[in-house]
Amino acid sequence: MLDDKQSALVALACIGLVDAISYMVVAPSLIFYVQQVGGTKEQYGYILSAFSAASFCAKPLLGTWTDISGNKFRVPYLTSVVFACLGGFLYFYASAYKENTQVAVGLILAGRILGGFGAANAALGFAYLASVIPPGEQTKTNSLLSMTRIIGMAAGPGFNVLLKDINTTINIGGETIQIDFLNSVGLFLVTSNLIAMLCIFFLLKEPGPRLKTGLSTVSECSGDGECVGSRWDFIKQFFAVEIVLPVFTIFVVNSNFQLIETGFAPAAFHALNWGPVETSAVLGSTSIVLFLCMLVVFFLSSKKVKDEVLVMIGSCFWVVGGLLVYFLWVADTAGWHFVVSVIVCVSGFPFIAASNRSLFTRRVDANPYLETRHGFMQALLSMFASVAGIITPGFVAAYVLRDPEEVEASQFHRELNPLALYMVVGPLLTIVGVTYVSIFKPLKAEPFADDSDEEPNETTGLVDNPANRRRSSAMVIKQKLNPHTEVNRRMSAQCMGVPQYDTAVERKRQSAVYAIAGLANELADEF
């Protein structure tokens, strides 16, 4: 029988799988569906952008909703999936208006906008994990969930094979609609999102209010973690370098990935005369590379390799891969030049994705000005991934990719302009930033590794807790007030030579406990 945490992880994995499959089912056939109802390539581009823009706008709304509702996730999650189901139906129903192109294209557009709203719930998943998973385990958990999304991305196109032979009719409101390979995708979206809705309803439990973690790095806060300051104080913490750095990192990684997705096909076509089959084979094989690298990240995280180290490893992959892309993507070269450069680049993505998210979560937890806004902050991080997806393809197409005539006229026949080296500059800045934050902005304390309910004793983490460390509220609640136990524990610690109890603060607390114990004995004798 699954406990609440395990069932929640199953639900989140199912949601991520549905999101990834849904996106990859739509992507290969959307252009043909738009053209079937009489639409243009320009309208196809607008529909693609609308999906990303809707997701971008919906993420902060969903994140803020969970914050103001007291860390409640079920209703926002269910609402987003309902919108996704409605979007799938509109996507399907557009085919009923093939004779009216404007209406049909409008319905497809509306369906993808609602689908983008539903896809925005990915930010809720990271906020949920921040509520139920200890900071030390978040990289492993994020890696596992990322692997499910990669599996979905790899399996998504395969569902098109199952749909390609569909040819039937359905009657809706007295109107007969032909179901074919293209519009059946909408019904697939409805069905898959209904499955996700059932998983949310039956498996996803509310995590409860967020607890203070004891990681505060803000010196102005009181001992109990409460921070009282002006709006300017909040803004300063919001734009602190340790908060901005993960946001910058996710933007850089997704921008680099967009260059591969946008530039590979036209560059390989001109340089190698590769068509859609060869291009799809190379880009499709990257799913295997991503999955294997995710396994490596999971293993390293289980061996307590720091998230900062994983981010720098991933950034190094992008630095090397970016150089290979710029120098090896040349006309009339060997095919393996393109393949190797792509593999090196995408190998860096898994090292950064989960660990960067974990770093961001820990830093938000560590900042009492921000820790009550986890839903919004996680949405903010995801929004910048969407920003990269919105602006990078146009930038690459206009300023990075060279025209065939320009390639032939250049000295080295490179397919990309020098602006492509932003793939190298961004990761280098990430490495510098991570190094700076690790040295000059370290967390003052690490989270409690043990989250058990056992009684305080000499063997628990309570013994070696520094005197100046703020205890987690969860730990405080679990401690039972027993003066005799406290006295015995402290005496045992002293006999063992634990130095933390030989401080002025601890001596003062020890005297108070002895006094309480003496008073308790007197009251016991009296009654």
Token pair of 387, please?
A: 């920003």
Position 74 in a domain:
yes
Position 329 in a domain:
yes
Both 286 and 413 in one domain: the answer is yes
Task: Give the Å distances, CA to CA, from 446 to 301, 466, 495.
Answer: 16, 11, 26
- Domain finish residue from 155, 190, 208: 208
| 429 vs 435: CA distance, rounded Å | 10
| 18 vs 192: CA distance, rounded Å | 6
Both 391 and 418 in one domain: the answer is yes
For residue 177, list its beta bridge partners.
170
Look up the CATH number of the domain holding residue 189: 1.20.1250.20
**What is the 8-class DSSP label of residue 397?**
I
Both 229 and 124 in one domain: the answer is no
**Nearest of 80, 143, 145, 137 to residue 114 by alpha carbon:** 80
The pLDDT of residue 151 is 77
Both 20 and 104 in one domain: the answer is yes
Q: Tell me how far apart the 2 most distant CA atoms of the chain are, in Å.
A: 102
The pLDDT of residue 471 is 39
Amino acid at 80: S
- Domain finish residue from 412, 447, 482: 447
| φ and ψ at residue 175, rounded to 5 degrees | -110, 130
Secondary structure element (H or E) that encloses residue 22, with its range: helix 4-26
Both 188 and 219 in one domain: the answer is no
In degrees, to the nearest 5, what angle opens at C-alpha 260 toward C-alphas 257 and 261? 90
Both 329 and 230 in one domain: the answer is yes
- Domain finish residue from 208, 231, 265: 208
| 498 vs 184: CA distance, rounded Å | 68
Asked if 139 and 307 touch (Cβ cutoff 8 Å), the reply is yes
Position 458 in a domain:
no
Secondary structure element (H or E) that encloses residue 215, with its range: none
The pLDDT of residue 477 is 39
Asked if 189 and 87 touch (Cβ cutoff 8 Å), the reply is yes
Both 437 and 489 in one domain: the answer is no
Asked if 89 and 25 touch (Cβ cutoff 8 Å), the reply is no
Asked if 377 and 234 touch (Cβ cutoff 8 Å), the reply is no
Token pair of 253, please?
A: 């990684």
Query: Hey, how many other C-beta atoms are within 10 angstroms of the C-beta on 498?
Result: 15
| 67 vs 371: CA distance, rounded Å | 10
| 313 vs 353: CA distance, rounded Å | 12
Asked if 345 and 110 touch (Cβ cutoff 8 Å), the reply is no
Asked if 103 and 43 touch (Cβ cutoff 8 Å), the reply is no
Both 96 and 225 in one domain: the answer is no
Position 466 in a domain:
no
Q: What are the average pLDDT values for consecutive 10-residue runs of the chain, which has 527 residues?
A: 81 90 80 87 80 88 90 94 96 92 95 93 85 78 77 72 83 83 92 95 83 48 48 75 94 90 84 79 78 88 91 97 96 93 92 90 85 82 84 84 90 93 97 95 59 42 40 39 52 52 53 51 47
Query: Hey, how many other C-beta atoms are within 10 angstroms of the C-beta on 341?
Result: 22
The pLDDT of residue 367 is 84
**Nearest of 461, 454, 515 to residue 483 by alpha carbon:** 515
The pLDDT of residue 279 is 74
* Helix, strand, coil distribution of the chain in percent, nearest 5: 75, 5, 25
Q: What is the chain's alpha carbon radius of gyration, rounded to the nearest angstrom? A: 27
How many helices and strands (H and E) does the chain possess? 19, 2
**Which distant-in-sequence residues (6+ apart) come within 8 Å of 520 by Cβ?**
483, 484
Token pair of 365, please?
A: 């937890």
| 507 vs 464: CA distance, rounded Å | 15
Position 456 in a domain:
no
Position 415 in a domain:
yes
| φ and ψ at residue 93, rounded to 5 degrees | -70, -15
The pLDDT of residue 265 is 80
The pLDDT of residue 122 is 84
Provide the domain limits for residue 48. Answer: 1-208
Both 312 and 414 in one domain: the answer is yes
Asked if 402 and 417 touch (Cβ cutoff 8 Å), the reply is yes
The pLDDT of residue 526 is 46
Both 93 and 172 in one domain: the answer is yes
The pLDDT of residue 328 is 95
For residue 416, list its beta bridge partners.
401
| 45 vs 343: CA distance, rounded Å | 28
Query: Hey, how many other C-beta atoms are within 10 angstroms of the C-beta on 38?
Result: 15
Position 453 in a domain:
no
Output the CA torsion sign for 83, 88, 93, 94: positive
Both 125 and 198 in one domain: the answer is yes
**Domains contained in the chain, number:** 3
| 252 vs 268: CA distance, rounded Å | 23
Asked if 354 and 374 touch (Cβ cutoff 8 Å), the reply is no
**What is the 8-class DSSP label of residue 454?**
P
Position 401 in a domain:
yes
Both 442 and 519 in one domain: the answer is no
Token pair of 320, please?
A: 């090397």
**How does DSSP assign 77-144, residue by residue?**
HHHHHHHHHHHHHHHHHGGGGTT-HHHHHHHHHHHHHHHHHHHTTHHHHHHHHHHHS-GGGHHHHHHH
Q: Which residues of 413-445 are buried (b: 16+ CB within 10 A; e: fewer)?
A: bbbbeeebbbbbebbeebbebbeebeeeeebeb
